[in-house]
Structure 1
């Protein structure tokens, strides 16, 4: 399910192979190397950037109701660690424990995964407790703002 969602999002951003990997030659992809265990790894280093990843989380009143405006730090905008999103969410919860709802977490995860790519310089990511909890596919198709316009 996650792979399908990632592929769906990738189509919107840069295209996706749809399972036809033979259509892409090795020279078209990121340089890789095969290790002794036959696993493929990228030769480009993954940025290891330390926390904090969240600069602030402030409540504001908007047309759709209360909105938590989350401002990522420069490291939060660039980090590529697979665990950094979870650490960033823990930082949000330290700033505001009331944000700990399934819908808010899903909106944050969407912003963390996709908004950093699509709009890397967006000043804040706005997540709202009044938005519905939806499927990952619907979250992506709504551009991380299910149930109404972006705030």
Structure 2
């Protein structure tokens, strides 16, 4: 009951402040003063990224890795010929496709670490037949991921968001 009361009080405060803000702006004599959500952007917006590939991933399968002292699951991906040579600006689109196709697996976690591994493969290992993305590897940022040849092992407790 207490949480419901707090919720409604917070909602009432937000609505009251919103209404007051609208009134204050509407009554302003200076029409150039606009709330930030009504202002036009101060610079040209970037065009949306258009996918250059109809599909980025040709196939993928979860494999249990038991080599080099590692006993974990990894997703082994084969990029399409087009996906193998995309610009790094399209990595988000490729990652989105990977998540749609394979993200429902119980082995899927650590999005930030996995996307750093994906970027590393796209930049440095394009010719590898399969790209192994390993959710068990720690998120350490893109620079350290690349220094570790896409396979970081040592966690960094507080990496910069990269």
- The bucket for the TM-score relative to the shorter chain is 0.5 to 0.7
**Structure 1 residue 68, shift from structure 2 partner:** 0.6
Task: Kindly provide the CA deviation profile for residues 29-68 of structure 1, in whole angstroms up to 9, marking residues without a partner as x.
Answer: xxxxxxxxxxxxxxxxxxx842211112210001221011
Tell me how many residue pairs correspond in the alignment. 96
Matched residue, 1:86: 92
Please tell me whether residue 54 in structure 1 is matched to residue 64 in structure 2. no
Q: Secondary structure at 1:105's aligned position in 2?
A: helix
Q: What's the RMSD between the two structures over aligned residues?
A: 2.0
Gaps in structure 2 of 5+ consecutive residues = 1-50, 155-162
| 1-structure distance, mates of 2:99, 2:55 | 13
Q: Deviations over 1:85-134 (max 9, x none)?
A: 11111110111124452211211121122222xxx2x1111011111111
Alignment partners' CA distance in 2, 1:77 and 1:85: 11
CA distance in 1, matches of 2:97, 2:148: 25
User: Which residue among 127, 136, 139 is the counterpart of 1:133?
Assistant: 139
Higher relative contact order (CA 8 A, sep 6+): 1
**Are 1:69 and 2:69 matched, yes or no?**
no
Please give the TM-score of this superposition, normalised by the length of structure 2.
0.53
Name the larger-Rg structure: 2
CA distance in 1, matches of 2:136, 2:85: 29
* Secondary structure in structure 2 of the residue aligned to 1:83: helix
Which runs of no fewer than 5 residues in structure 1 stay unpaired? Answer: 1-47
1:136 and 1:79 map into 2 onto residues whose CA distance is 18
Report the Cα offset of residue 74 of structure 1: 0.5
